[in-house]
Chains A and B, each alone.
Chain A
Amino acid sequence: MAAAEGSAPQAEVFVYPRSITTTSQTNPPARMSIASPINLVLLSLFVVLLYFHFRPKQPVTLPRGPPPVVFRTYTPKTLIEFNGEDGRPVFLAVRGRVFDVSPGRNFYGPGGPYENFAGRDASRGLAHQSFDEEMLTKDLSGPLDDLKDLDADQLENLQSWEERFSEKYLVVGKLVAEGDPEAPKS
C-alpha cells in the first residue's frame, strides 16, 4: 500500500493528460484501470511463472549403453584375426576361454611385450611364463594343446593367470579345435 500511495501523485502528473485525450474527464475511475501496461506486465510475468511451475516435466532418459558383445565359438583359424592389428580387438585364449584383452592393448596388442599371444591360444605360454613363439601351437588346423605335460607349478601358474584374466577381462567366447562339432561352419 505504501508504494501505491507514494506513486499516486506521480500518477496524476503523467496519466492525467492521456486520460483527457482518450476518455471523458467526468469518469475518474478510468484512471484506476486494471488493464494498465504495468498490470499487463505483471500479469504476463505471473503467467510465465505459472507455466514454469506447472509445465509438464519429461522423465529423464539416459542413452542406451553399448550393445552387448555376442558370445561366439572360435577356432584357432578364426581367432587369429583378432590380433589387434588395424584397430581390431585383441583376443587371446586360455584353456578354451577367449578373453577380450583390448583394454590391455599396450601389453597384448601389436608392439607390446605379449604381442605373440594376440589372437592365439596362450595357455602354454602363460604356464611356462614365457612369451616366445615356440609356446604357441603351430598347426592352426590341428587339435588344441591339451597341456598334459605341465607340472604342478606350471598348472598353478596358469591358474593364477586365468583368475587374473577373469577378474579384469570379459570372456567373449570359447575356443574349439578346427573340425570340432561345435565349431561354426564357415
Chain B
Amino acid sequence: MADQTPILEKLDAALSELLADWNIYTTVFAGILAAFAIYSVISNKDPDVHPFLLARQSTASPIRQTGESATYRSLETPYGFPLRQGLNVKDPGAPKWTAGRRGDLRDIWKTAVRGALNEDGTTSGKQGKIYTVLGKNAVEHSLAQVTQEINVIGRHLQKAEVKTVAVCLTDSIELLAAIFAGSFYGFKIVLIPHNLPATTLSSHLQNSKADALIAEVGSLDLSLVAKANKQLSVVIWVAKYGNRHMDWHGVPKDVKGTLEVAVWHELAEEVKDLSGFDVPEYDPTTSTPAVHTVWPSASQSGEFIEFKQENLAAAISALGSALPRNQRFNSSDLVLSIDSLSRSYPLCQIFNALFSNASIALNSVAGEDVDFALATKGVSPTVIIASSRTMSEYHDHVMKPHTGLISSLGRWVQAQTLDAGNMPSQNFFSRLAQVGPTAELSLENLRLLCISHRVDAAASVRLTSEQLTDLRIYMGARIVYALTGPGIAGAISQTNVFDYRDLNGPSHFGAPLSSTEITLTGVSENQTSEENPEGQIMVAGPAVVDGKTTLSSRGRIATDNTIGLCA
C-alpha cells in the first residue's frame, strides 16, 4: 500500500500536466474525434449478406469420378436434392399443398396477363406493360393488345398448317408475340438473329426446314430465299411504323403460286374483331413445341440449339430464384433488355420478368455489341440486361477516360462501403463518383444490371472484379454476372447479387444456378486436394438440352466454390 500512493500521485500529476495544455485547438480536435467516433458507430451496418455465404457459394458433392472434379451445385439444391425442374405453376382450384406443374411459356404469358398478386393471393389487376424503345421515345403496349396479336398470328399460321416458323426480327413486340403464338398454337419457333447475309439466312431456313418466315420488310431478298427454300409456304412481313402505308404484298414471280405473303399489322387489323383479347384456353398437360435459337460459333453458320419448353421453364425459374427475395423482379420493375432476345440469357430473363409481372422494355438495336448510352435512352429502367461485351466496351471507352480526380475520390469512399459488404446508398460521394463517368446516362431508377458472358466470347471482354466494382459505383446498381453456354437455357452460373468482393483479375461467375450442376472433366489426378480443380466444364441438369453437355472451355473452381474460366 505504501508505495502505491506515489504512483497514483505521479499519474495524477502527469494527467494534470497533460490536461493543463488544453486549449481551443484541443477542443476542436476532441470535437472532431467524438464526431468521427459517433459516425463510425452509426454508419457501421451489417453486410448485405453473411460473409460465410460468399466464402462458400456452392456445395460440392462428397464423391467424384476418376479424372473429374466433384459436382458443384447451388446452395438451393445441394447434393442429394432434385435440381429445379420448372416454374412450379399452381392452377387455381388445385389442392393447396400439391406440387406445382413444371409449366411452359403459355403459363408465363397467362401469369403476365393475370397481373400481380396481392399478399393474400388475390389478383390485384396490376398488369405489367411492354415498351418498345425507338430512339428517344418509348411506345407503350398493353398486354391485351399483344394477346390479340398472338391470337391473330397464331390462327393465321395454324390455318396455313405450318410446323416450323422462322422468326428473323429485331427485338420487338412482334418477336415476343410470335414466340408465344408458337406455344399457344402449336408450331416450332426458330429464332434467327437479324442482319444476317441472305445466303446465311437461307441456309438457316433450310437447316431448320422452316415452312413459314416472319421477317422485317426490306430486310431480306425474298426471291433468293424463296428459291433456295421450296418448303417455305408463308411469309409474314413486319412493317415499321414509318412504312406501313406501302404495299408489301409483292411476291417474286417464280414462287407466286406456292408462297403466301401477308403483312403483320394488316392481319392484326383485319381479324381484330374475330380474335379476342383473352389468352387462348389450353390444356396444361399437352406438350408445347420447342424454341430454337442460333448459337454464334466460330464458323459463319452458327449452331442450332433446340430448347424444349422444359429447359426454358427450369432456366426461367432458376434465374428468378437465384436472386434473393428482396432483389427479385416485381411488378414495380421495368426490365430493359439491350441484348438480343435470340440469345438465351436475355430471352429467359425477359420471360422471368413477365412471369414476375414486371414491365419490360425492348429495344430494336439490342445485340451483343451495342452502345450502352444510346441503347438505354428513352426509358428509365430499374433492371438492364446486357452482354459482357457491351459493358466492357462502355467501361473501357467511356467510363474509364471520364474518371477524373474527383470521381476517383468518390469511388474510393464508395469502394470502402462495398468492401465492408454494403451497397453504397445514393449520397454526396456517389454523386461525386458519378459526376464524370456516367454523365451522359439517365438511369436514376437503375437497381440491377444483369450481365451475361458467352463462354466462347473473347477473353478481352471478360469483366474483371475491378470493372464490376466500377460499374456498381458509377451506375449505383447491383450486378449479377452470368456465364452462358451453347445448349444451356438461361445461364450456367451467376454471381451472387450481394457479392461485392473486389478480388484480383477476371471476375468469377458465381455458383451454378439451381437448374444446373457443374462438373469439371479431364482433371489431373496429380493435383493435391489443396489446389483448385481445373478442367473442361461439363454442365448437366433440367436447363440443359438433352440433360448434359460438355463445353469446349476449361474452368476452375476457386476456394470459395465459384466457377471461373481458365486463361
Contacts and interface: CB of A to CB of B under 8 A. Distances in A.
Partners in one complex: yes
A59 B501 contact: yes
A46 B17 contact: no
Contact of A60 (B19, B54, B61): B54
A46 B36 contact: yes
A10 B19 CA distance: 9
B560 interface: yes
Interface in A8-44: 10-11, 13-15, 31-34, 36-39, 41-43
Size bin of chain A's contact surface: 35 or more
Contacts of B18: 37-38, 41
B19 A38 contact: yes
A42 B30 contact: yes
B417 to A, nearest CB: 11
A31 B24 CA distance: 11
A10 B32 CA distance: 24
Contacts of B54: 59-60
Interface in A38-93: 38-39, 41-43, 45-46, 49-50, 52-54, 56-57, 59-62, 64-72
Contacts of A60: 51-52, 54-55
Given A42-B33, A49-B36, A60-B54, A68 B26 contact: no
A69 B62 contact: yes
Contact of B419 (A32, A42, A56, A170): A56
Interface in B11-35: 16-27, 29-30, 32-33
Contacts of A152: none
Contact of B52 (A7, A11, A33, A62): A62
B420 interface: yes
B274 interface: no
B332 interface: no
A10 to B, nearest CB: 5
A27 to B, nearest CB: 15
Contact of B60 (A14, A37, A42, A68): A68
Contacts of A61: 55, 559-560
Contacts of B62: 66, 68-69, 170
A14 B56 contact: no
A36 B22 CA distance: 8
A172 B63 contact: yes
A37 B19 CA distance: 9
B468 interface: no
Interface-centre pick from A31, A39, A170 (highest chain B CB count, 10 A): A39
B40 interface: yes
B27 A4 contact: yes
B66 interface: yes
B501 A7 contact: no
B22 A38 contact: yes
Given A4-B27, A62-B56, A170 B63 contact: yes
Interface residues of B, number: 42
Contact of B63 (A11, A37, A49, A68): A68
A14 B66 contact: no
B168 to A, nearest CB: 46
Given A59-B51, A68-B70, A69-B62, A7 B19 contact: yes
A69 B70 CA distance: 9
A29 B85 CA distance: 80
A155 interface: no
Contacts of B52: 60, 62
Interface in B55-102: 55-56, 60-66, 69-70
Contact of A42 (B17, B20, B29, B69): B29
Contact of A70 (B32, B64, B416): B64
A57 B420 contact: yes
B465 to A, nearest CB: 11
A116 B161 CA distance: 68
B139 interface: no
Interface in B153-203: none
B347 to A, nearest CB: 34
Nearest to A52: B40
A10 B27 contact: no
Contact of A64 (B23, B24, B503, B529): B529
Interface-centre pick from A32, A68, A70, A172 (highest chain B CB count, 10 A): A68
Contact of A43 (B29, B420, B559): B29
Contacts of A46: 29, 32-33, 36
Interface in B409-443: 416, 419-420
Interface of B: 16-27, 29-30, 32-33, 36-37, 40, 51-52, 54-56, 60-66, 69-70, 416, 419-420, 501, 503, 529-530, 559-560
Interface of A: 1, 3-4, 7, 10-11, 13-15, 31-34, 36-39, 41-43, 45-46, 49-50, 52-54, 56-57, 59-62, 64-72, 170-172
Given A11-B23, A72-B66, 4 more contacts: A11-B20, A38-B22, A39-B26, A71-B66
Closest 5 CB pairs of A and B: A36-B21, A67-B529, A14-B20, A60-B51, A68-B70
